Structure 1
């Protein structure tokens, strides 16, 4: 197998073997894809569907929604509430990513096994994405399933990381 092209990216992941609790992992995976389904997002989707946001500035609207989410998160923090997430057995740092692969800093995977994980994406808005992946080696994983919206964010983050590396290499040459 050819080693995929990977770009350095400091991301965190928590994961477990998919066979440990496949139904619960599948349920959380689906919930994470619908993480926008908080009350403000539901309202926004309905307003967009009815055409009520046609004359609104989309950037301003998104910022207002994110501000509302931050207030909700602050309220949850003050009430000592946490989002319900499954407890996963392993925590690791991702060293590098590709469009369909990622590489862990430490060898923690068993080749051929399938895993479920949550990756903390360092994008705005910050959120976790659910992913099923298969170990190709103790460090290298191939993404098996990721939601379409998450794939777009993953690809955008990868592209941004590549741009940063290109800019840094140009600066070193000068």
Structure 2
């Protein structure tokens, strides 16, 4: 059964394009611990290596063929850091969130759940792993305006870029699939 997430968003004064997706997320009520985790997740990737990489990208804008190599090196760097933390038994732990749900769709500024999971007008802290390369854990604060839809109320600027880029890429993927179906 297809659910009209876009229609509900429009009815609530939040017009956005919606793309289908599927990933699990955790959510719970906002708390001081959730806010601290949110800040910590926003700092991930803000180390010296990431800053150096961003400066390098700005200096070499016309050399886009190196971008993929830099992304792969970044992923390797993060995996090495993760392995080092495992060896030191300093694995990153997340706070316990009371609930899990499956995202069935995303829009710019909204997360749509497959099941009725939320109380309208209630605030939630949400954590998920955005399925991009390199993968990224995100924490966001939201408010439900429907039993299935959360409006994002607080998100780090870099996370907004990655989130919106993921949605734009899914839109392009859908357009290519539609075009390929018409060509056959």
Instruction: Rate the CA distance shift 1:110–1:48 in 2: closer, same or farther, 3 A.
Output: closer
Q: Could you say which residue in structure 2 is the equivalent of 1:45?
A: 51
- Cα distance change of structure 1 residues 23 and 81 upon mapping to structure 2, 3 Å threshold: same
Q: Distance in 1 between matches of 2:139 and 2:157?
A: 11
Task: Find the residue that maps to 2:153 and give its secondary structure.
Answer: strand
**Number of aligned residue pairs:** 165
Provide the residue aligned with 1:33 in structure 2. Answer: 42
The alignment yields a C-alpha RMSD, in angstroms, of 2.5
TM-score (norm. length: structure 1): 0.82
What does the per-residue CA deviation read over 1:118-172, in whole Å, with 9 as the maximum and x for residues that have no partner? 1211111112111001011110111111111000111100011111111111222
Partner deviation per Cα, 1:50-108 (whole Å, 9 max, x = no partner): x8x968x8634553333122122234445665312111111111001110112101111
Unaligned runs of 5+ residues in structure 1 are: none
Question: Which structure 2 residues correspond to residues 61-100 of structure 1 after superposition, within 5 A?
Answer: 61-77=70-86, 81-100=90-109
Identify which of 113, 122, 126 aligns with 1:113. 122
For residues 53 and 153 of structure 2, the distance between their equivalents in structure 1, rounded to whole angstroms, comes to 34
Equivalence for 1:13? 25
